[in-house]
Structure 1
Amino acid sequence: GLYRRDYGKSHSVGLADAILAATAESEKAELKTLNTKHYPMLKGLRPAYKK
């Protein structure tokens, strides 16, 4: 809820992206994605690979 509230409108973060970010953070897991702009709340997030 907090990620969605804080980043939903300003960064167009959807519910699924907010849940994935919160889960990755709470489990101390590394999130792999090519769409880093959907996760502004995760500092230091890099693309899974370069296209």
Structure 2
Amino acid sequence: HISSIFQFFALDRYHGGLANSVFSTFFKHVLIRHIAPELEVVYHKVYNIILLT
């Protein structure tokens, strides 16, 4: 699935980038809404563990 996404991006670069802009907006939304908060939580947990030890 990941390789097909990369192929999609590569094809889209040739075709003018409409789907690329939609896709990048979608990915930014997903990153900000879902991945970033989780990473922040994990980061704080790890940081607290480092501070405690």
Higher Cα radius of gyration? 2
Q: Which has the higher helix share?
A: 2
- TM-score class normalised by the smaller sequence: 0.3 to 0.5
TM-score by length of 2: 0.34
TM-score by length of 1: 0.35
- Which structure carries more relative contact order (alpha carbon 8 Å, separation 6+)? 1
